Structure 1
């Protein structure tokens, strides 16, 4: 009874699934949105995607090399961070912006807090928010069909209507990877089929946001408006690809439901009561910060 037991750090469950295989599946799931973004925004989008991914991988390698840490670029987590960040950028940004964003995501948010599994918020989203605060003009400059144009959510916020089919297919202005709901849902379906994510977080998130929209948006109980809000901005992208991040989301189902509720409410507050027409990125990183508290309350042995 007096034996000392050595308990290693998490995770404790042994499985054939590896970090690199999970990350590869995420990359595959993002390919439809990536290819559509390149088709939509041409060669500039491709350059931004490649620049961001290369910056993230090199940042991780250089930091770990000089800090004499194990080199982890083969786990593909830096590739996923770079790809998600790139898909959250407008195709109009100069290439030095994804470089700054990639360095911030990997060095400041990921590596300085211990590397993969230790970061307190999603690195790609943290970098996007950093870039939005630092370079607001460049990060909100959207061009479609050669013309500077507002995103569908800006149009909706100004009290005008927008064609839902265009929003669903993605023939609108926006960031490289967020415009096509159809492409994102194909990728989300792949992740669900492969068992990489579960529906708990995205479904709770989308249901709560829908309820909030029906009651508190400028167009109460307008289901066409609700459909446009669901297809607009980074909501589908965030719900399936970023809010479900293993490291920064709650561990058990009860916590994930609470997390999804908070996400839906915050996104609604930011979209309908804030100055910005979007709100997904800020909603997710704020909710990331609440995850330790959510886990403490909902996990067995917690407060309740």
Structure 2
């Protein structure tokens, strides 16, 4: 649905890019992640034929409009584990929407590659740091895999950030779970993320990390933008299995969040080298994260 008759050419291009990637990673001159600028410069070259909607496609879900100079470069970060049925639905709607908005954008799926409790915020830190290896994005949209935008006018550019994109969810009759809700889909600039020391690494299980991120933003004096009205409504894809268990310690962690802000986040995150794999619609970054 995204590529039309060019789908086989796209699959061939993605296979070729993965072969180049594997060669680069084992090469002593380029395998050091500290100098991974070659990801865009040498591997991810636009295909000779533009895609429909007049976009250059780069293997791994990277899109650059042809007929204009895009105002914003946006990285979409999707924390992820075992939700492939949700991912296909989200990308089917999200990619055409962002193309209509004439954005340059990349889709990163940050996959937790272990069976520990899911840690959404730590995966957000990994996604932000690894996306720096690709290009200098103007902003980062953190996107839950089961939240689907309903209106193409919900602009994903980098204006008015930090921003919470959701005015209402179908599961709450198109209202918010509570007034201070900052989950689901949110956007921050690089400066926003640096000022709050990224995202907390201590939330293993469901809940709490969004509330702490909001507290960090407020503590840094950053005003949150949220627009009202049905343009900013989302549907939540129903889960077909048990959700992650709620984290019992989340309320205690929230009470002490201010004391941890400078020491918990980008400043202390440690993780093994992630595994990259390019797919037609996204770049998968698989990482084995551990408690710090």
- TM-score, scaled to structure 1: 0.28
Structure with a larger share of its residues in helix = 1
Structure with a larger share of its residues in strand = 2
- TM-score, scaled to structure 2: 0.29
